[in-house]
């Protein structure tokens, strides 16, 4: 599965996602789970079965000047329609039934075993059942409605607006939600939080969620300020961003130095510009390097 974290402050929306993909008993770290350019003005992150969600998103058609709500609503409709289409194919192939037959509890012209009907009825909403590849999918969309930052979630079964300044989905949501909840409990006004601190806490939450088997790889980090194009943090800079957070949390990098490095990366500084400020003059450099190498 995955870990997708959406956040916003007063003038910025952001998404952080992991890179791990799993299937056929293997895992890789090349997952492309953030949709940055598909719906200009918004950013979306996905968790679940990639090819199913990608097909559903590909079926979405929107006019210009859409809001995050409209994008999320259309994604929900597309996920729901594709889910029904796929399940109908399975039901017809295996039992000669349709979703309508299962919901109705019987087939109009023929008798069907009641036990089979009951099992199928439960499966239609069971995200761990036989239709899980069509049900266990979720898309987080962030963007601006006019000047207001918003977060929405869509699944094949539901569509909701998020009332908080953050949202986490995926198999890592238990630990990432705990991390963000604990942090935001200490913040009086989440809207006034700096973009750098907001993204730092999102990446920290993703790092903590790596204890879940389905989460891993370097963070994908993208943010969008009001009225601006999305900014995607580069791969090397994302690795360094994580290293700074790890060093800071383990007191191997001074807080002031770490915060300056994180700010610089978010503001567009390159790996080559930031890395020396973190390592070269660090009195704990040797300990930091050993820690980051896993010793």
Cα within 13 Å of Cα(159), Cβ side: 15
Query: Does 227 lie in the same domain as 272?
Result: no
pLDDT for 27:
64
Residue numbers of the domain that contains 277: 234-295
pLDDT for 28:
64
**Contact status, residue 100 vs residue 92, Cβ threshold 8 Å:** no
> Minimal CA–CA distance to 202: which of 232, 236, 226, 167?
167
Query: Does 289 lie in the same domain as 149?
Result: no
Query: Does 255 lie in the same domain as 224?
Result: no
* Structure confidence by residue, pLDDT tens digits, 223-256: 999 999 999 999 999 999 999 999 999 999 999 9
Query: Does 175 lie in the same domain as 76?
Result: yes
Give backbone dihedrals phi and psi of 238, rounded to 5 degrees, phi first. Answer: -70, -40
**Contact status, residue 241 vs residue 219, Cβ threshold 8 Å:** yes
The stretch 86-110 carries a mean pLDDT of 85
Report the CATH number at residue 170. Answer: 3.60.20.10
pLDDT for 245:
98
* Structure confidence by residue, pLDDT tens digits, 173-223: 999 999 999 999 999 999 999 999 999 999 999 999 999 888 889 999 999
Query: Does 240 lie in the same domain as 171?
Result: no
Question: Among 212, 232, 252, which residue terminates a domain?
Answer: 232
Query: Does 78 lie in the same domain as 183?
Result: yes
What's the whole-model pTM score? 0.92
């Amino acid at each position: 599965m995955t870990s997708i974290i959406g956040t916003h402050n007063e003038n910025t929306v952001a998404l952080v996602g992991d890179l791990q993909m799993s299937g056929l008993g293997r895992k890789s770290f090349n997952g492309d789970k953030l949709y940055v350019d598909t719906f200009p003005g918004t950013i979306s992150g996905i968790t679940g079965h990639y090819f199913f969600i990608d097909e559903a998103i590909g079926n979405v058609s929107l006019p210009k000047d859409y809001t995050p709500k409209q994008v999320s609503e259309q994604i929900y409709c597309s996920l729901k329609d594709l889910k029904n289409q796929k399940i109908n194919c399975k039901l017809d192939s295996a039992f000669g039934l349709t979703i309508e037959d299962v919901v109705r509890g019987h087939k109009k012209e023929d008798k069907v075993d009641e036990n089979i009907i009951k099992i199928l009825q439960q499966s239609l909403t069971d995200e761990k059942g036989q239709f899980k590849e069509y049900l266990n999918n979720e898309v987080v969309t962030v963007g601006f409605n006019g000047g207001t930052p918003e977060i929405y979630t869509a699944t094949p079964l539901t569509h909701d607006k998020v009332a908080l300044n953050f949202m986490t989905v995926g198999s890592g949501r238990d630990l990432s939600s705990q991390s963000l909840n604990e942090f935001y409990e200490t913040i009086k006004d989440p809207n006034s939080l700096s973009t750098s601190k907001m993204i730092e806490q999102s990446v920290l939450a993703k790092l903590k969620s790596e204890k879940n088997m389905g989460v891993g790889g370097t963070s994908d980090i993208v943010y969008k300020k009001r009225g601006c194009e999305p900014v995607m943090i580069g791969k090397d800079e994302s690795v360094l961003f994580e290293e700074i957070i790890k060093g800071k949390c383990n007191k191997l990098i001074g807080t002031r130095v770490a915060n300056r490095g994180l700010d610089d990366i978010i503001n567009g500084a390159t790996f080559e510009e930031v890395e020396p400020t973190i390592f070269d003059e660090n009195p704990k450099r040797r300990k930091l390097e050993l820690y980051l190498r896993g010793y």
